[in-house]
Amino acid sequence: MSFGEVALTRSTAGRPGGSGITWAMRSGSRTRSREVGRFLTPLLLLCCLSVALCGVAAGAEEDYAPLWGVGVNDAVRSVAITQDGSRIVAGAGSGIYLLDRQGNVLWKILVGSRVNGVGISPEGSYIGVAADKLYLYDGNGSLLWTEKTTFIYRSVALSSNGTYIAAGCDNGAVYIFDLDKKQLWDYDMGTDGYGIAISENGRKIAVGCDDQGVYYLNSREGESWSYGTGNLVKSVALTPDARFVAAGSYDRCVYLSTGEGEHLWKYPTKDAIIAVALTNEADEIFAASGRTVYVLDWTGAELQKIALSGRAESLAVTPDGSFLVVGGGDGDRFIRLFTDDASLLEGREPVEVAANETGPQNQTASDTPARLPPPDNGTATAGVNASARDEGAPLTSQVAGWLENIVALLFKPQEDFLA
Protein backbone atom coordinates (compact mmCIF):
# COMPACT_ATOMS: atom_id res chain seq x y z
CA MET A 1 0.00 0.00 0.00
CA SER A 2 1.54 3.30 -1.06
CA PHE A 3 2.06 6.29 1.20
CA GLY A 4 -1.17 7.93 2.33
CA GLU A 5 -3.53 5.16 1.22
CA VAL A 6 -6.50 4.06 3.25
CA ALA A 7 -7.90 0.54 2.88
CA LEU A 8 -11.33 -0.35 4.16
CA THR A 9 -12.17 -3.92 5.09
CA ARG A 10 -15.71 -4.96 5.93
CA SER A 11 -16.32 -7.92 8.24
CA THR A 12 -19.41 -9.93 7.38
CA ALA A 13 -19.06 -12.25 10.35
CA GLY A 14 -19.55 -9.36 12.74
CA ARG A 15 -22.99 -8.50 11.39
CA PRO A 16 -25.36 -11.37 11.98
CA GLY A 17 -28.90 -11.38 10.70
CA GLY A 18 -31.79 -13.67 9.94
CA SER A 19 -35.28 -14.18 11.29
CA GLY A 20 -34.42 -17.31 13.29
CA ILE A 21 -32.39 -15.46 15.95
CA THR A 22 -33.53 -12.69 18.27
CA TRP A 23 -30.73 -10.12 18.25
CA ALA A 24 -30.68 -6.51 19.42
CA MET A 25 -29.19 -4.95 16.32
CA ARG A 26 -28.96 -1.29 15.28
CA SER A 27 -32.14 0.33 13.99
CA GLY A 28 -32.26 3.40 11.76
CA SER A 29 -32.18 5.60 14.86
CA ARG A 30 -29.12 3.70 16.17
CA THR A 31 -30.92 2.53 19.33
CA ARG A 32 -30.75 -0.92 20.89
CA SER A 33 -32.27 -2.50 23.95
CA ARG A 34 -29.76 -3.87 26.46
CA GLU A 35 -31.25 -6.73 28.43
CA VAL A 36 -28.13 -8.86 27.97
CA GLY A 37 -26.09 -9.40 31.14
CA ARG A 38 -22.42 -10.03 31.60
CA PHE A 39 -22.70 -13.81 31.46
CA LEU A 40 -25.05 -13.91 28.49
CA THR A 41 -22.76 -11.96 26.18
CA PRO A 42 -20.38 -14.87 25.35
CA LEU A 43 -23.41 -17.11 24.63
CA LEU A 44 -24.84 -14.57 22.22
CA LEU A 45 -21.47 -14.26 20.53
CA LEU A 46 -21.41 -18.04 20.08
CA CYS A 47 -24.83 -17.77 18.47
CA CYS A 48 -23.46 -15.09 16.15
CA LEU A 49 -20.59 -17.38 15.23
CA SER A 50 -23.07 -20.11 14.33
CA VAL A 51 -24.92 -17.63 12.13
CA ALA A 52 -21.69 -16.73 10.35
CA LEU A 53 -20.84 -20.38 9.79
CA CYS A 54 -24.28 -21.00 8.31
CA GLY A 55 -23.74 -18.23 5.81
CA VAL A 56 -26.68 -16.07 6.86
CA ALA A 57 -26.75 -12.78 5.00
CA ALA A 58 -25.07 -9.83 6.69
CA GLY A 59 -26.86 -6.68 7.82
CA ALA A 60 -27.05 -3.61 5.66
CA GLU A 61 -25.21 -1.06 7.79
CA GLU A 62 -22.96 1.33 5.93
CA ASP A 63 -19.18 1.18 6.22
CA TYR A 64 -17.01 4.19 6.96
CA ALA A 65 -15.27 5.70 3.95
CA PRO A 66 -13.00 8.78 3.69
CA LEU A 67 -14.30 12.22 2.74
CA TRP A 68 -10.97 14.04 2.87
CA GLY A 69 -7.50 14.14 4.38
CA VAL A 70 -5.37 17.13 5.35
CA GLY A 71 -1.61 16.56 5.52
CA VAL A 72 0.39 18.08 8.37
CA ASN A 73 4.06 18.07 9.29
CA ASP A 74 4.01 15.87 12.39
CA ALA A 75 2.17 12.96 13.97
CA VAL A 76 -1.42 13.85 14.84
CA ARG A 77 -1.37 12.86 18.50
CA SER A 78 -4.85 14.09 19.41
CA VAL A 79 -8.14 14.97 17.70
CA ALA A 80 -11.59 16.07 18.85
CA ILE A 81 -14.86 16.86 17.08
CA THR A 82 -18.05 18.74 17.90
CA GLN A 83 -21.32 16.87 18.32
CA ASP A 84 -22.59 17.96 14.90
CA GLY A 85 -19.25 17.38 13.17
CA SER A 86 -18.96 21.00 12.05
CA ARG A 87 -15.60 21.63 13.75
CA ILE A 88 -12.53 19.42 14.18
CA VAL A 89 -9.51 20.24 16.30
CA ALA A 90 -6.20 18.39 16.02
CA GLY A 91 -2.82 18.57 17.70
CA ALA A 92 0.28 17.75 15.63
CA GLY A 93 3.75 18.46 16.96
CA SER A 94 3.42 21.81 18.74
CA GLY A 95 0.62 22.93 16.47
CA ILE A 96 -3.15 23.16 16.85
CA TYR A 97 -5.40 22.98 13.79
CA LEU A 98 -9.08 23.88 13.60
CA LEU A 99 -10.89 22.58 10.51
CA ASP A 100 -14.45 22.63 9.28
CA ARG A 101 -16.42 19.66 7.96
CA GLN A 102 -15.19 20.31 4.41
CA GLY A 103 -11.54 20.04 5.43
CA ASN A 104 -10.77 23.77 5.32
CA VAL A 105 -8.18 24.86 7.87
CA LEU A 106 -9.83 27.76 9.73
CA TRP A 107 -6.78 28.52 11.83
CA LYS A 108 -3.61 26.93 13.12
CA ILE A 109 -1.53 28.00 16.08
CA LEU A 110 1.80 27.06 17.65
CA VAL A 111 2.09 26.54 21.42
CA GLY A 112 5.15 26.35 23.64
CA SER A 113 5.79 22.60 23.43
CA ARG A 114 4.47 19.37 21.98
CA VAL A 115 0.70 19.05 22.14
CA ASN A 116 -0.29 15.98 24.16
CA GLY A 117 -4.05 16.38 23.99
CA VAL A 118 -6.83 18.56 22.58
CA GLY A 119 -10.50 18.87 23.47
CA ILE A 120 -13.46 20.84 22.16
CA SER A 121 -16.76 21.65 23.83
CA PRO A 122 -19.68 19.75 22.27
CA GLU A 123 -21.02 22.83 20.46
CA GLY A 124 -17.54 24.08 19.46
CA SER A 125 -17.31 27.33 21.42
CA TYR A 126 -14.14 26.47 23.35
CA ILE A 127 -10.98 24.48 22.72
CA GLY A 128 -8.60 23.11 25.34
CA VAL A 129 -4.98 22.14 24.74
CA ALA A 130 -2.78 20.04 27.03
CA ALA A 131 0.93 20.74 26.58
CA ASP A 132 3.60 22.45 28.72
CA LYS A 133 0.63 24.46 30.00
CA LEU A 134 -3.12 24.08 29.85
CA TYR A 135 -4.45 26.43 27.16
CA LEU A 136 -8.02 27.58 26.56
CA TYR A 137 -9.09 29.18 23.26
CA ASP A 138 -12.37 30.38 21.90
CA GLY A 139 -13.71 29.11 18.61
CA ASN A 140 -11.98 31.92 16.70
CA GLY A 141 -8.53 30.94 17.97
CA SER A 142 -8.22 33.74 20.52
CA LEU A 143 -6.27 32.71 23.60
CA LEU A 144 -8.40 33.11 26.74
CA TRP A 145 -5.94 31.88 29.37
CA THR A 146 -3.14 29.49 30.22
CA GLU A 147 -2.46 27.57 33.43
CA LYS A 148 1.09 26.48 34.19
CA THR A 149 2.50 24.08 36.74
CA THR A 150 5.96 22.59 37.08
CA PHE A 151 4.54 19.50 35.35
CA ILE A 152 3.24 18.68 31.88
CA TYR A 153 -0.44 18.36 31.03
CA ARG A 154 -1.21 15.06 29.32
CA SER A 155 -4.91 15.30 28.45
CA VAL A 156 -7.90 17.65 28.37
CA ALA A 157 -11.67 17.36 27.89
CA LEU A 158 -14.50 19.93 27.95
CA SER A 159 -18.12 19.69 29.02
CA SER A 160 -21.02 21.44 27.28
CA ASN A 161 -20.37 25.16 26.62
CA GLY A 162 -16.95 24.77 28.21
CA THR A 163 -18.49 25.01 31.69
CA TYR A 164 -15.95 22.52 33.00
CA ILE A 165 -12.44 21.90 31.68
CA ALA A 166 -10.91 18.67 32.98
CA ALA A 167 -7.20 18.03 32.62
CA GLY A 168 -4.76 15.28 33.57
CA CYS A 169 -1.28 16.26 34.68
CA ASP A 170 2.12 14.60 35.10
CA ASN A 171 1.97 15.26 38.84
CA GLY A 172 -0.66 12.52 39.17
CA ALA A 173 -3.60 14.89 39.61
CA VAL A 174 -6.83 15.57 37.72
CA TYR A 175 -7.98 19.20 37.71
CA ILE A 176 -11.28 20.85 36.88
CA PHE A 177 -11.37 24.54 35.89
CA ASP A 178 -14.17 26.85 34.86
CA LEU A 179 -14.13 29.33 31.97
CA ASP A 180 -12.59 31.99 34.19
CA LYS A 181 -9.65 29.70 35.07
CA LYS A 182 -10.92 29.16 38.58
CA GLN A 183 -9.83 25.76 39.88
CA LEU A 184 -12.99 24.05 41.05
CA TRP A 185 -11.58 20.70 42.06
CA ASP A 186 -8.46 18.55 41.98
CA TYR A 187 -8.08 14.88 42.69
CA ASP A 188 -4.80 13.11 43.41
CA MET A 189 -4.76 9.98 41.27
CA GLY A 190 -1.34 8.96 42.53
CA THR A 191 -0.35 8.16 38.96
CA ASP A 192 -0.02 9.96 35.62
CA GLY A 193 -3.26 10.31 33.67
CA TYR A 194 -2.76 9.78 29.94
CA GLY A 195 -6.35 9.85 28.72
CA ILE A 196 -9.35 11.80 30.03
CA ALA A 197 -13.01 12.13 29.09
CA ILE A 198 -15.85 14.13 30.63
CA SER A 199 -19.62 13.81 30.34
CA GLU A 200 -21.66 16.48 28.63
CA ASN A 201 -22.90 17.84 31.96
CA GLY A 202 -19.45 17.66 33.53
CA ARG A 203 -20.47 15.40 36.41
CA LYS A 204 -18.60 12.25 35.38
CA ILE A 205 -14.96 11.84 34.38
CA ALA A 206 -13.06 8.82 33.08
CA VAL A 207 -9.28 8.63 33.30
CA GLY A 208 -6.78 6.18 31.82
CA CYS A 209 -3.56 5.97 33.81
CA ASP A 210 0.06 4.91 33.82
CA ASP A 211 -0.64 2.45 36.66
CA GLN A 212 -2.65 0.29 34.20
CA GLY A 213 -5.96 1.48 35.65
CA VAL A 214 -9.23 2.82 34.28
CA TYR A 215 -10.89 5.20 36.76
CA TYR A 216 -14.45 6.56 36.84
CA LEU A 217 -14.79 9.72 38.93
CA ASN A 218 -17.71 11.76 40.23
CA SER A 219 -16.90 15.43 39.82
CA ARG A 220 -15.95 17.07 43.13
CA GLU A 221 -16.48 13.80 44.99
CA GLY A 222 -13.86 11.30 43.92
CA GLU A 223 -13.49 7.79 42.61
CA SER A 224 -16.60 5.72 41.95
CA TRP A 225 -14.87 2.59 40.62
CA SER A 226 -11.75 1.41 38.84
CA TYR A 227 -10.22 -1.69 37.28
CA GLY A 228 -6.82 -2.78 36.03
CA THR A 229 -5.89 -3.84 32.51
CA GLY A 230 -2.36 -5.15 32.90
CA ASN A 231 -0.65 -2.28 31.05
CA LEU A 232 -0.70 1.47 30.53
CA VAL A 233 -4.11 2.88 29.54
CA LYS A 234 -3.49 5.53 26.89
CA SER A 235 -7.05 6.46 26.01
CA VAL A 236 -10.58 6.48 27.43
CA ALA A 237 -13.92 7.63 26.03
CA LEU A 238 -17.38 8.32 27.46
CA THR A 239 -20.79 8.55 25.87
CA PRO A 240 -22.18 12.09 26.40
CA ASP A 241 -24.42 10.80 29.22
CA ALA A 242 -21.52 8.79 30.74
CA ARG A 243 -23.54 5.56 30.67
CA PHE A 244 -20.75 3.72 28.86
CA VAL A 245 -16.96 3.84 29.11
CA ALA A 246 -14.45 2.59 26.53
CA ALA A 247 -10.75 2.17 27.29
CA GLY A 248 -7.72 1.25 25.23
CA SER A 249 -4.72 -0.38 26.89
CA TYR A 250 -1.19 -1.23 25.87
CA ASP A 251 -2.16 -4.81 26.75
CA ARG A 252 -3.63 -4.80 23.19
CA CYS A 253 -7.27 -4.94 24.32
CA VAL A 254 -10.27 -2.65 24.01
CA TYR A 255 -12.55 -2.59 27.07
CA LEU A 256 -16.20 -1.60 27.36
CA SER A 257 -17.90 -0.98 30.71
CA THR A 258 -21.07 0.64 31.99
CA GLY A 259 -21.09 3.79 34.07
CA GLU A 260 -22.04 1.60 37.02
CA GLY A 261 -18.76 -0.26 36.72
CA GLU A 262 -20.00 -3.48 35.09
CA HIS A 263 -17.39 -4.81 32.69
CA LEU A 264 -19.11 -5.89 29.47
CA TRP A 265 -16.31 -7.21 27.29
CA LYS A 266 -12.77 -6.81 26.03
CA TYR A 267 -11.62 -7.19 22.45
CA PRO A 268 -8.04 -8.31 21.59
CA THR A 269 -6.00 -6.78 18.76
CA LYS A 270 -2.47 -7.33 17.46
CA ASP A 271 -0.99 -4.06 18.71
CA ALA A 272 -1.27 -1.68 21.65
CA ILE A 273 -4.43 0.43 21.68
CA ILE A 274 -3.43 4.07 21.24
CA ALA A 275 -6.89 5.69 21.07
CA VAL A 276 -10.58 4.83 21.50
CA ALA A 277 -13.90 6.52 20.77
CA LEU A 278 -17.56 5.52 20.97
CA THR A 279 -21.00 6.70 19.88
CA ASN A 280 -24.27 7.17 21.74
CA GLU A 281 -25.37 4.05 23.66
CA ALA A 282 -22.02 2.50 22.68
CA ASP A 283 -23.60 1.45 19.38
CA GLU A 284 -20.13 1.57 17.82
CA ILE A 285 -16.71 1.51 19.45
CA PHE A 286 -13.55 2.57 17.61
CA ALA A 287 -9.98 1.63 18.44
CA ALA A 288 -6.66 2.71 16.93
CA SER A 289 -4.18 -0.15 17.03
CA GLY A 290 -1.02 -0.17 14.96
CA ARG A 291 -1.94 0.84 11.41
CA THR A 292 -5.56 -0.17 11.84
CA VAL A 293 -8.74 1.45 13.12
CA TYR A 294 -11.17 -1.20 14.35
CA VAL A 295 -14.92 -0.56 14.26
CA LEU A 296 -16.81 -2.78 16.74
CA ASP A 297 -20.47 -3.06 17.67
CA TRP A 298 -21.79 -2.96 21.24
CA THR A 299 -21.32 -6.73 21.68
CA GLY A 300 -17.64 -6.52 20.72
CA ALA A 301 -18.18 -7.93 17.23
CA GLU A 302 -15.95 -6.53 14.50
CA LEU A 303 -17.81 -4.50 11.88
CA GLN A 304 -14.97 -3.01 9.86
CA LYS A 305 -11.22 -2.45 9.74
CA ILE A 306 -9.71 0.74 8.31
CA ALA A 307 -6.05 0.32 7.35
CA LEU A 308 -3.70 3.30 7.15
CA SER A 309 -0.22 3.44 5.62
CA GLY A 310 1.15 4.63 8.98
CA ARG A 311 0.26 4.31 12.64
CA ALA A 312 -3.19 5.41 13.76
CA GLU A 313 -2.52 7.91 16.57
CA SER A 314 -5.86 9.45 17.56
CA LEU A 315 -9.63 9.12 17.13
CA ALA A 316 -12.83 11.09 17.66
CA VAL A 317 -16.40 10.44 16.56
CA THR A 318 -19.68 12.35 16.66
CA PRO A 319 -22.24 10.90 19.10
CA ASP A 320 -24.50 9.76 16.26
CA GLY A 321 -21.58 8.12 14.45
CA SER A 322 -21.98 10.18 11.28
CA PHE A 323 -18.39 11.45 11.27
CA LEU A 324 -15.17 9.78 12.37
CA VAL A 325 -11.87 11.68 12.65
CA VAL A 326 -8.58 9.78 12.49
CA GLY A 327 -5.18 11.28 13.19
CA GLY A 328 -2.21 9.50 11.62
CA GLY A 329 1.36 9.10 12.84
CA ASP A 330 4.65 8.34 11.10
CA GLY A 331 3.94 7.16 7.58
CA ASP A 332 0.50 8.79 7.52
CA ARG A 333 0.62 12.32 8.92
CA PHE A 334 -2.92 13.20 8.00
CA ILE A 335 -6.06 14.45 9.67
CA ARG A 336 -8.78 12.39 7.99
CA LEU A 337 -12.55 12.62 8.09
CA PHE A 338 -14.65 9.50 7.45
CA THR A 339 -18.40 9.09 7.23
CA ASP A 340 -20.90 6.25 7.02
CA ASP A 341 -23.51 8.51 5.42
CA ALA A 342 -23.95 7.18 1.89
CA SER A 343 -25.54 10.43 0.71
CA LEU A 344 -22.34 12.33 1.50
CA LEU A 345 -20.18 9.79 -0.31
CA GLU A 346 -22.28 9.43 -3.44
CA GLY A 347 -20.38 10.60 -6.51
CA ARG A 348 -17.60 12.10 -4.39
CA GLU A 349 -13.91 11.30 -4.67
CA PRO A 350 -11.98 11.74 -1.40
CA VAL A 351 -9.68 14.76 -1.46
CA GLU A 352 -6.30 15.07 0.26
CA VAL A 353 -4.40 18.34 0.59
CA ALA A 354 -1.65 19.91 2.65
CA ALA A 355 -2.64 22.51 5.22
CA ASN A 356 -1.91 26.01 3.93
CA GLU A 357 -0.63 29.01 5.85
CA THR A 358 -3.11 31.58 7.10
CA GLY A 359 -2.59 35.25 7.88
CA PRO A 360 -0.72 36.32 11.03
CA GLN A 361 -2.33 37.52 14.22
CA ASN A 362 -1.19 40.59 16.15
CA GLN A 363 -0.09 38.76 19.29
CA THR A 364 3.17 39.37 21.14
CA ALA A 365 2.78 38.06 24.70
CA SER A 366 5.05 35.19 25.73
CA ASP A 367 2.03 32.96 26.30
CA THR A 368 0.58 33.91 22.92
CA PRO A 369 1.06 31.21 20.27
CA ALA A 370 2.87 31.86 17.01
CA ARG A 371 1.74 30.75 13.59
CA LEU A 372 2.81 27.39 12.22
CA PRO A 373 5.04 27.13 9.18
CA PRO A 374 3.34 25.39 6.24
CA PRO A 375 3.78 21.62 6.07
CA ASP A 376 6.25 20.05 3.73
CA ASN A 377 4.16 19.62 0.62
CA GLY A 378 6.59 17.09 -0.72
CA THR A 379 5.66 14.60 1.98
CA ALA A 380 2.29 15.71 3.28
CA THR A 381 0.08 15.15 0.26
CA ALA A 382 -1.05 11.77 -0.93
CA GLY A 383 -4.01 10.12 -2.59
CA VAL A 384 -6.63 7.97 -0.93
CA ASN A 385 -7.49 4.66 -2.52
CA ALA A 386 -11.22 4.88 -1.85
CA SER A 387 -11.95 1.63 -3.67
CA ALA A 388 -9.47 -0.48 -1.69
CA ARG A 389 -12.06 -2.77 -0.07
CA ASP A 390 -11.92 -6.42 0.82
CA GLU A 391 -15.53 -7.49 0.42
CA GLY A 392 -15.11 -10.53 2.60
CA ALA A 393 -12.25 -12.27 4.36
CA PRO A 394 -11.93 -16.06 4.04
CA LEU A 395 -14.37 -17.91 6.29
CA THR A 396 -11.54 -19.60 8.21
CA SER A 397 -10.07 -16.18 9.10
CA GLN A 398 -13.47 -14.90 10.21
CA VAL A 399 -14.05 -17.95 12.40
CA ALA A 400 -10.57 -17.68 13.95
CA GLY A 401 -11.19 -14.02 14.76
CA TRP A 402 -14.53 -14.77 16.38
CA LEU A 403 -13.10 -17.59 18.48
CA GLU A 404 -10.25 -15.37 19.70
CA ASN A 405 -12.71 -12.64 20.65
CA ILE A 406 -15.07 -15.04 22.45
CA VAL A 407 -12.21 -16.54 24.48
CA ALA A 408 -11.03 -13.04 25.44
CA LEU A 409 -14.52 -12.04 26.55
CA LEU A 410 -14.56 -14.85 29.11
CA PHE A 411 -11.85 -13.10 31.13
CA LYS A 412 -12.52 -10.06 33.29
CA PRO A 413 -10.06 -7.24 33.96
CA GLN A 414 -7.57 -7.80 36.75
CA GLU A 415 -9.46 -8.84 39.87
CA ASP A 416 -6.58 -7.92 42.18
CA PHE A 417 -6.12 -4.37 40.87
CA LEU A 418 -5.73 -1.93 43.76
CA ALA A 419 -6.93 1.62 43.07
pLDDT tens-digit profile of 46-84? 555 554 444 333 434 579 999 999 999 999 999 999 999
pLDDT in tens, 347-358: 777 777 777 544
CA distances from 65 to 296, 314, 403 (A): 15, 17, 28
For the segment 85-143, what is each residue's pLDDT rounded down to a tens digit? 999 999 999 999 999 999 999 999 999 899 999 999 999 999 999 999 999 999 999 99
Helix, strand, coil in percent for the chain, rounding step 5? 10, 45, 45
Whole-model pTM: value is 0.79
> What local confidence, expressed as pLDDT, does residue 42 receive?
53
Q: For position 403, what pLDDT does the model report?
A: 62
Which pLDDT value is given to residue 149? 85
- Give the pLDDT mean for 379-384: 35
**pLDDT over 70 at 362, yes or no:** no
Q: What tens digit of pLDDT does each residue of 316-354 get?
A: 999 999 999 999 998 999 999 999 999 998 877 777 777
The DSSP output letter for 384 is -
- pLDDT confidence of 150, banded at 50, 70, 90? confident
What whole-number percentage of the chain has pLDDT above 70?
A: 71
State phi, psi for 86 to the nearest 5 degrees.
Answer: -80, -20
Query: How far apart (Å, rounded) are the C-alpha atoms in residues 242 and 160?
Result: 13
Residue ranges and CATH numbers for the domains of the chain are 65-360+370-390 (2.130.10.10)
Per-residue confidence (pLDDT) for residue 357, from 0 to 100: 42
The SS3 of residue 344 is: helix
What span, in angstroms and rounded, lies between the C-alpha atoms of 1 and 71?
Answer: 18
pLDDT at 209: 95
